[in-house]
């Protein structure tokens, strides 16, 4: 099984966390939010929340593209003689 690494958007944030041995999202999620916020400011608190799956933004669905096909009924099976 391979592990996928996700990088942080800000290289400075990644470098600061790397100094503390945090190089994976799971390690970031395990840290106390206050500690990461002290290190990175408000962006640290947001990063910890996102690592834990917390995202306060509302989900807005996108409109579906118009259908590029026409629906037709399935052909009838052949009749038995």
Look at residue 67 and tell me if it is in a domain. Answer: no
pLDDT of residue 77: 84
Look at residue 77 and tell me if it is in a domain. Answer: no
Look at residue 79 and tell me if it is in a domain. Answer: no
Chain segment 38-61, per-residue pLDDT in tens:
999 888 999 999 999 999 989 898
Look at residue 26 and tell me if it is in a domain. Answer: yes
Please give the distance of CA 60 from its chain centroid, rounded to a whole number: 15
In angstroms, rounded to a whole number, what is the distance separating the alpha carbons of residues 46 and 64? Answer: 30
Contact 40, 70 (CB under 8 A): no
Chain segment 24-39, per-residue pLDDT in tens:
999 999 999 999 999 9
- The range of the structural domain enclosing residue 47 comes to 20-51
In angstroms, rounded to a whole number, what is the distance separating the alpha carbons of residues 40 and 27? Answer: 15
Look at residue 74 and tell me if it is in a domain. Answer: no
How many domains, in total, are found in the chain? 1
In angstroms, rounded to a whole number, what is the distance separating the alpha carbons of residues 50 and 31? Answer: 13
Contact 69, 63 (CB under 8 A): no
């Amino acid at each position: 099984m391979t592990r996928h690494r996700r990088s942080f958007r800000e290289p400075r944030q990644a470098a600061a966390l790397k100094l503390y041995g945090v190089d994976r999202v799971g390690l970031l999620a395990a840290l106390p939010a206050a500690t990461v916020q002290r290190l990175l400011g408000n962006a640290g608190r947001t990063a910890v929340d996102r690592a834990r799956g917390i995202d306060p933004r509302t989900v807005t669905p996108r409109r579906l593209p118009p259908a590029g096909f026409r629906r037709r009924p399935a052909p009838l099976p052949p009749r038995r003689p």
